[in-house]
Structure 1
Amino acid sequence: MSAESHPTLPPVRLHSDAELARDALGAPLFARAVRLARWAGPGTRVGVGGELAAEQLPGAAAHLGLDADDKDAPGCASQAWRVAVDTGLVDVTEPEEDANGDAGGAGGAGGDAGAGEEPYGTAAPGEDLALVTGGTPGDVLALWRAALETVLADAAVPDLEDLVDALDAGGEIDFDRLDWNPGREADVLDAVLANLYLLTVSTTGGMDRPIPLPVLAASMVVPDGMGEPSDAVLEQVSDAMMRLDDQFRQLEPIGLVEFRPVDEELMAQADEDGPRGGREDDDEDVSRYGMVRLTPLGLYGIRARMLEAGVEAPAVGELAGKGADALLDVVASYPEHAAQAEIEQWMAGRDLPDAVAELLAAARGDDEGGPLRRLRCQQALALAGPEAEPAVRSVLDDAELGGLARVWLAEHGVADVPPPAPEMVFWLTVDTIAAQLAADGETEELPLLMETLTAHHAGFFDQVWRVEHPSTVQVLEAMGRLHPDRKTAKEARKAAFKARSRRP
């Protein structure tokens, strides 16, 4: 996975290791691999690469409860066996080479192969099989991740139709004609999964949010900033959708995703009408174009692979043991829902009055990040009850925190709170707008906030430009652009000019 594509990601809320391990054991492909590992014994025959011998596949499929009449049953059994071997659930002894360098040999150590028969090796349950029932959740997850790597490698291989098309006259695969580069294909699949992870955690932190396949395909194909895609780009999106459809069908049995494939009727229609690339009609159900969702186990697995690749992929709860200064610095850049979840976990294990005092101390500072730290501090204080009052009262005279403290005390119905000085009101206004600009940029809601904060202060712009706040100019310039009242916006621009003029 590319650490350059997504150097820092929003935090994900992960399930516990115990829950994830249960999910791993319940993943159909992993469960089949475990069953075949227990089935393996002295009579199990394997080929040179450790693959299950062809004559063994019907028995393996029957052991898995697969329908004998299902043409896919042998392939399912073969895949489950390969996963069992690759994860160490099964140990195989491959055929030995004879003096001529040929594998096995009639009556060799690999088995009693007769003349003209393929030599074979043997298989037995591996040591790691015991970890399935006797290991820790972490042991189970390590086995599942090894299985995931096998499935991802398979998913990066061209589909059978492409392989058949690439056969030359001698029945060999013409790789130049196939235009298949294993490393490139693996990188593309990694990028797809990274985009799916990013789309999942950006707004929900990993909650239930299926992604339409056209959206994911377009994120891989359509250049940033492109308006209406051209027909050529739409054709690329359509091709990418079909490739993703095939890959996610392979990834679902290992428990990585929940997937609704592209409607076969739509694929037939696309063949008749040409590429559509997901440009569906307004009244057409977008889910017919395919929907994919990373499972909780999938979020864990993709995050683990990202961490190995050097990508910073935080998880909610990682800051629980750190100080308030680290908490506010990190969650300052988080989306609001993620910041809230992290703050809740941080406060859950602490004495509330002490935690509030630590948060208030960490919120101070006239640096560029100060406003957003105070916004997150205010978000944390919203979780505090009456026991926090002494700590909040202690900062009433603080120039940076006094306004924030008064807001909290007023919201909790505390009496005898001294009114703020006008300078504190102006400073708090600038700080609040600066925090919103830093958190979300110039949103549609920001003009309303500006109007609300300035409506009840006569001569607001005659005073606010004097406020000693590092963001005064930036805030006044934003108000000059965004304030819904034209006259007020003009006053803001004049105030911004005065604020700039008084800077050294």
Structure 2
Amino acid sequence: MSIEWVNLAVEGLRAWGHEKGVEVDVDEVRLLCDYASDYLEVNELGDFRAGTFEELLLEIYPRKVIAPPESAPETVAAARTLVDFLLDTGEIGIKTAARMRTTIDAIEPEMPRALADTTKFGMAKSIFSAIGADSLDLADGGTDPSQDGLDETAGEGFDRPGYAPLPPVRLASPQEVARAVREVPLLRDAHRVAAWMAGEACTTTVRKELRVKDARRLTAELGVGRPALAWRLALGLGLARLEGTAVLAREGLGPLDAVPDDELLTLWAGAVDFVVEASTDITGVEIVDKEIYSIHDLLYRLQAPVPLEAIRDYLQEVAADRPIDQLEKAFHDLAHAGTVQYDEDGLALTGHGLWGLRTRYEAMGVSAPIAADLAEGDASGLIAGLITDGLPAEVAERDIVAWLSRRTPQEAAAELLGAVAGAPAEVRGIAVTIVDRLGEEAAGVVRAHLEDAELRPHAVHWLSTRGLDAPALTQDEVLWLSVDMLALALPAAEADPEGFAENIALSGPPAHLIDDMWHVDHPDVVEVLELLGNTLPDKAAAKSARKAAFKARSRGIR
């Protein structure tokens, strides 16, 4: 991402618009320039050509930008403004401008169709489109209401893979991050290379690069696998400096293990910038280095390992017909830089990589929320956090385990069940799902809730599945429990209807149970039956669910 020339171009455009009295959509033009720089080898304004706009608006935008088809006119208008600016400032000639305008005229009716064509979506765009409209309110190029007052340049780069707000993340403590950073191979190599180069009174080439003989000695004597990369990082972090071509170590440079934590974290933030900006050869695989920002951004947002094949598919879209080789080696090399880890589960951010990337987002003026430590709160806080924070399953699981570890089974059951009396099904369902993890020690607490009409069916089920003495459920209670547990699944079904349909096909309620569900006095019974009617693969069962939903509506249950 070539932010520097894009920033200069946008500032020039803003001044030009003010002088000419032209209204300029700065955000859209910035997006055009960013993508042209990232994917079409446009390194300055004069590199724009008619074909650049065709590839941008009909190929790259549909693949990368989460935007509705009706937003196309705004983007086309911004492209025309950019052409006017390029011509007026002498970056292009009259004939080139005419070709560009002819191309844009032809693009205008095609672009809405291209934006709507899901077959054109790239992997990252498809993932974030599936998150839902509520999380993509910024897809039209607007600003996050929580960021009022931020500089207009805030959020640069967050057009990839969309303008979706960043999810809350759980961070390791600064001490844990510092411990991990001290073991990052590339940073350790950079630190050793800086000290060695200065100690050996080495000089660089006039281009500030390592001499071949020094690179060989660094590998032979220090075991530095990629000395040229380590040297560039050392220079970029100020661990070494040059006087002409003479190498001097930073004053006071000592062993990395002796660097104070706060200073080390500052170094690490700079190292993450160095890696993510991909201003140099990080892995040696061109397409990976080119997409290194997008890969890190995707991993940050998903907070879960991404399989190699999924990333390969994404990179193949970007690379078009060019073959992609040595992908596994590239990811191992990227892991050497410390921001990611790569194993059989796929590629994921390291804990210190997550910390460094969030620091980078903050420096860019982008809201990068931290998820509350749910283990520190009470049962109500735990349940509310699990519902509203949108944490990945792995993070949520860690929170639940940590919360339970600080309580006895009796205390946990009492807190959880006591917090959900009279609560909606989703809240109650999360509580009883966590209580279901507890052993027989919690039996007394669970048994005490047999008198609660809403919790009684869950309590009976909990006791009976453990072979403990429990009253039998009545038919009405069985029906109510079935509806209540299905109501818990409603949010997940809305987020992933195909996944829900697969699960319900395997473990859905039997037809005779569905027929009687309309009798249940449950606030979510209509919604549950409508969901079953729309998702059950068995046509007869689905029809029964729709009929039952009609009967429940007729009773006035909503």
When normalised by structure 1's length, the TM-score is 0.62
What's the offset of the Cα at 1:377?
A: 1.7
Change over 3 Å in CA distance of 1:410–1:355 after alignment to 2: same
Report % sequence identity: 29
| Aligned residue identity for 2:404 | M
Shift in Å, 1:466: 4.0
Q: CA deviation at 1:391?
A: 2.3
> What CA distance in whole angstroms lies between the structure 2 residues aligned with 1:128 and 1:59?
20
Match of 1:357 in 2: 414
AA in 2 matched with 1:345: A
Q: Report the residue type matching 1:357 in the other structure.
A: A
Distance 1:126 1:188 in 2: 36
Q: 1:294 and 1:241, CA in 2 relative to 1: closer, same or farther beyond 3 A?
A: farther
The 5 Å alignment of 1:294-443 reads 294=349, 297-302=352-357, 304-306=359-361, 310=366, 318-332=373-387, 333-334=390-391, 336-366=393-423, 370-415=424-469, 417-440=470-493, 441=497, 442-443=500-501
Q: 2:336 aligns with which of 253, 261, 276?
A: 253
What's the secondary structure of 1:445's corresponding residue? helix
Counterpart-to-counterpart distance in 1, 2:290 and 2:158: 8
Give the Cα separation in 2 of the matches to 1:134 and 1:480. 63
**Which residues in structure 2 correspond to 1:30-41 (within 5 Å)?**
30-39=187-196, 41=198
User: Of residues 266, 270, 283 in structure 2, which corresponds to 1:146?
Assistant: 270
The aligned residue for residue 99 of structure 1 is: none
Residues 12-71 of structure 1: per-residue CA shift (max 9 Å, x gap): 7x778777655533433222212123335477467899947x66x734652453699xxx
Give the alignment partner of residue 444 of structure 1, picking from 488, 502, 506. Answer: 502
Question: Larger radius of gyration, structure 1 or 2?
Answer: 1
Q: Does residue 7 of the first structure (1) align with residue 165 of the second (2)?
A: yes
- Measured against aligned partners, the alpha-carbon deviations of 1:238-262 in whole angstroms (never above 9, x if no partner) come to 45957989975863431334679xx
In structure 1, distance between residues paired with 2:419 and 2:188:
49
Structure 2 counterpart of 1:491, which letter? S
Q: Which string of whole-angstrom CA distances, capped at 9 and with x for unpartnered residues, describes residues 100-140 of structure 1?
A: xxxxxxxxxxxxxxxxxxx456623444645632534x654
The one-letter amino acid of 2:181's match is A
* Alignment counterpart, residue 312 of structure 2, candidates 214, 225, 242: 214
Root-mean-square deviation (Å)? 4.5
Alignment partners' CA distance in 1, 2:190 and 2:412: 49
1:344 is displaced (CA, Å) by 0.8
Q: Which amino acid aligns with 1:502?
A: R
Q: How does 1:121-160 map to 2 (within 5 A)?
A: 123-127=248-252, 129=254, 132-136=257-261, 140-155=264-279
Please tell me whether the aligned partners of residues 10 and 335 of structure 1 are also in contact (alpha carbons under 8 angstroms).
no
Q: Determine which structure has the larger helix proportion and give its number.
A: 2
Match of 2:68 in 1: none
Aligned to 2:320: 237
Is the 8 Å Cα contact of residues 258 and 292 (structure 1) preserved in structure 2?
yes
- 2:59 is matched with which residue? none
Q: State the match for 2:17 in structure 1.
A: none
Aligned residues: 389
The amino acid across from 1:87 in the alignment is L
The within-5 A match list for 1:62-141 is: 62-65=217-220, 76-90=226-240, 92=241, 95=243, 119=244, 123-127=248-252, 129=254, 132-136=257-261, 140-141=264-265
Q: Distance in 2 between matches of 1:409 and 1:308?
A: 53
Specify whether residues 350 and 87 from structure 1 end up closer, same or farther in structure 2 by C-alpha distance, changes over 3 A only.
farther
Once the 2 structures are TM-superposed, how far is the Cα of residue 494 of structure 1 from its aligned partner? 2.0
Residue pair 1:21, 1:140 contacting (<8 A) in 2 also: yes
Distance in 2 (alpha carbons) for counterparts of 1:214 and 1:336: 24
Letter in 1 for 2:459: A
- In 1: Cα distance, 2:547 partner to 2:342 partner: 56
The one-letter amino acid of 1:215's match is D
Aligned-residue offset at 1:395: 2.0
Q: Distance in 1 between matches of 2:342 and 2:323?
A: 16
Q: Match for residue 282 of structure 1?
A: none
Aligned pair in 2 of structure 1 residues 302, 134: CA closer, same or farther (>3 Å)? Answer: closer
Shift of residue 432 of structure 1?
A: 0.8
The verdict on how the C-alpha distance between 1:30 and 1:501 changes in structure 2, with shifts beyond 3 A counting, is same
SS at 2:293's partner residue?
Answer: helix
SS at match of 1:148: helix
Whole-Å separation in 2 of the counterparts to 1:483 and 1:159: 48
Q: CA deviation at 1:406?
A: 1.6
SS in 2 for 1:123: strand
> Aligned letter for 1:373?
V
1:320 counterpart SS class: helix
Q: CA deviation at 1:297?
A: 4.9
Comparing both chains, which one has the higher relative contact order based on Cα–Cα distances under 8 Å and sequence gaps of 6 or more?
A: 1
Change in 2 beyond 3 A, CA 1:424/1:38: same
- Is the CA contact (8 Å cut-off) linking 2:278 and 2:293 kept in structure 1? no
TM-score (norm. length: structure 2) = 0.57
